[in-house]
Amino acid sequence: MTRAGFTLGELAEALQAQLDGDPSRVVTGVAPLGTAGPDQISFLTDPRYRDAARASRAGAFLAPRDVADLPGPTLHCATPQQALIDLVRLFHPSVSTPPGVDRTAVVAAEARVDPTAAVGPLTVIESGAVIGPGVRLHALVHVGPGVQIGEGSVIYPHVSLRDGVRLGRRVVIHAGAVLGADGFGFAFDGCAHRKVPQVGGVLIEDDVEIGANTTIDRATFGDTIVRRGTKIDNLVQLGHNVEVGEHSLLVAQVGVSGSSRLGRGVVLAGQVGVADHVTLGDGVIAAAQSGIPSDIEAGAKVFGTPARPLGLARRIMVAEGRLPELLQRVRALEQRLEKLAARLGEAPAEGERG
């Protein structure tokens, strides 16, 4: 699926870039600064790597407008990170799968599969499911009863979508993810944990991406919701009735407990945990492994367990590093003070540790 090559002139036009160099030169692929060879174009999207760019063997470069000293022809772009995405897509265009249902797929009579959808081998579509136009279901997917999948969505192998799950358009779900398992709700009756029936669903809005082996539980009532444009990494857990706002990022192994609400543009770094019934305002950013026990106001950056404002959390961590020394200093102070007091004829302090 990789095109043989492009001239730099073609790339400049496609990326709306300004070319400094020979427009007839051909490059056959994209590669990072450290591994690109003379046939490849590389990219400088982060100024920290300027030295690596100067040392690169790449045959051409994509770079910001103000970078002029690279060792090869350079495509100057206003937004190099965005241009890089377009550049990679030129060399690696999305593969379009021929529509149709594989002969080994098992599709219930009462399911509706759009004729432009592609259904892979040994995928199961249960009764009442609705598969929209251009959807791609890879092999061995399970689509439960009544599940709805919007236009252009892509579902990778071994994904489980239980009844009550609805996906918007252009949703991507990576292999092994489970949407719609029962929320973790039990009530102890004095003898045993009785199951609280979980009769809600899961609503995933447009342009959401969900990572491999991630789990998103169905709501007790109503819906667990992931709003438009949010991206979720692998092995993330969202409990019942969680709502994640638009354009948020949840990095791998994050866990969000039941009924918590994340605003728009929230970023939770890897392994962060959020307690239940917590509200995180728009734009909250939590550093890796933070534990969030209570509400956080919009725009705050937090870190640690319990999560504290980032600046304070860092000062605490620095101070923790000096804690053993601090203990010694306090002991020294106590002894010294005691000696001074003795010289002044005072009795030892109560509870003195001297």
Site for a copy of itself in 175-204 (CB under 8 A): 175-176, 178, 181-182, 184, 186-189, 192-197, 199
Q: Does 109 bind a copy of itself (CB under 8 A)?
A: no
Told to judge if 193 belongs to the known catalytic residues of this protein, a careful annotator would answer: no
**Among the options 76, 240, 247, 277, which is catalytic?**
240
- DSSP β-bridge partners for residue 193: 188
C-alpha distance from residue 218 to each of 20, 221, 258, 281 (Å):
54, 8, 10, 23
Q: Does 299 bind a copy of itself (CB under 8 A)?
A: no
Q: Which of residues 3-22 bind a copy of itself (CB under 8 A)?
A: none
Question: Taking a C-beta distance cutoff of 8 angstroms, is the pair 117, 153 a contact?
Answer: no
Number of helices (H), then strands (E), in the chain: 5, 40
- Give residue 229's identity as a one-letter amino acid code: G
Question: Taking a C-beta distance cutoff of 8 angstroms, is the pair 202, 181 a contact?
Answer: no
Q: Does 332 bind a copy of itself (CB under 8 A)?
A: yes
Question: Taking a C-beta distance cutoff of 8 angstroms, is the pair 106, 100 a contact?
Answer: no
Q: Does 130 bind a copy of itself (CB under 8 A)?
A: no
Measuring CA to CA, which residue among 2, 3, 11 is closest to residue 41?
Answer: 11
- The least CB distance from residue 10 to a copy of itself, in Å, is 19
Q: How far apart are CA 228 and CA 311, in angstroms?
A: 31
- The least CB distance from residue 291 to a copy of itself, in Å, is 5
Binding mask 38-77 for a copy of itself (x = CB under 8 A): ----------------------------------------
Q: Does 78 bind a copy of itself (CB under 8 A)?
A: no
Count of residues interacting with a copy of itself (CB under 8 A): 113
Q: Which is nearer to a copy of itself, 130 or 139 (CB)?
A: 139
How many C-beta atoms lie closer than 10 Å to residue 114's C-beta? Answer: 15
Q: Does 251 bind a copy of itself (CB under 8 A)?
A: yes
Q: Mark the segment that binds a copy of itself (CB under 8 A) among 8-16, 50-58, 69-77, 230-238.
A: 230-238
Please identify which residue in 44, 63, 126, 136 interacts with a copy of itself, judged by CB under 8 A: 126
Q: Which is nearer to a copy of itself, 20 or 58 (CB)?
A: 58
C-alpha distance from residue 160 to each of 7, 146, 164, 347 (Å):
44, 13, 12, 74
- Please list the active-site residues: 240
